[in-house]
Copies of this chain bind each other. A is one copy, B any other.
Amino acid sequence: MLFIVGLGLGDEKDITLRGLEAVKKCKTVYIEAYTSLLSFGLSSNGLSTLEKLYGKSITLADREMVEEKADDILSEARGSDVAFLVVGDPFGATTHTDLVVRANKIGVDVKVVHNASVMNAVGVCGLQLYRYGETVSIPFFTETWRPDSFYEKIQRNRTLGLHTLCLLDIRVKEPSLESLCRGRKQYEPPRYMTINTCIEQLLEVEQTRAESGTVHGFILSSSGHFKCSFGGGGSYSEDTDCVGFARLGSEDQRIVAGTLRELQMIDFGTPLHCLVIVGKTHPVEEEMLDFYKLKGGTLEQIENRSA
């Protein structure tokens, strides 16, 4: 049996009793390394907190390993109980669908133990989860690669009055350009997008689109959607209300509501970060957001306060 166990968002205490029970009875325990190193404050040789809690050793599995050794992991799971630990919910922002598909194909039973993910925990800011539109991913821009398909999605959500969850890029174990040229495996240091970088990119794209002078609209029909262009009015601006989240679900989480311009001034501290662009709000949503708003003070004061 393969147990895919969500660890939740904070630390080792966020596993469920069901999850812990499963891990304890497994012969082998893997943990996905994509975000876990960070969220759980682990270093590559420092799994000890979890290992102590579970009473067994844990193998760190990066994406490469999961892809290359999936067959080994699965054949192990055919004969004994194997746990695969995942930060958040197993089917949250990053997914492990491929492993499940492979398991199903060769007849290995899979049990999923759910937990909180960013996708539902953002509800804590008071914006109702059923008032969110499509989630967008904000990728790190490079000199030559500045994909901005998120723009239309945000625009669509805002037009419909819906909130938008922006998931910020994580780059872990990216092969360095040099190593690609030399055919040797060397990796870039891990990078986690901050809310500041995200906002910078969002505003750059808005600026570019505004300068091009047309804003796209959509005619939605059931047979597809057809773009039409008309002038004026962008998707969002410096003054658009947002909520920034750092280390959501952890003891030291930070949640601040404010305009894009205000949030850009704030140092949210260590990753992971995410951002919600606020749509049309109801009074109860407003009341909750209010508690997360920076009260009084100029931008300079805000900057000092959060430094």
Q: Which residues of A pack against B, CB within 8 Å?
A: 6, 8-10, 12-18, 20-21, 89-93, 95, 97-98, 100-101, 104, 112, 114-117, 119-121, 123-124, 126, 128-137, 155-156, 158-160, 162, 167, 215, 217-225, 228, 230, 232-235, 249, 284-285, 287-288, 291
Contacts of A228 in B (CB 8 A): 219
Q: A95-B123, A129-B135, A220-B218 are contacts. A114–B225 as well, Cβ < 8 Å? A: no
The answer to whether A93 touches B126 (Cβ under 8 A) is no
A contact patch SS:
mixed
Residue of B nearest to A101 (CB): B287
Contact of A220 among B18, B120, B134, B156 (CB under 8 A): B156
Q: How many copies does the complex hold?
A: 2
Contacts of A135 in B (CB 8 A): 129-130, 132
The answer to whether B123 touches A89 (Cβ under 8 A) is yes
Contacts of A159 in B (CB 8 A): 220-222, 224-225
Contacts of A288 in B (CB 8 A): 97, 100-101, 104
The answer to whether B92 touches A129 (Cβ under 8 A) is yes
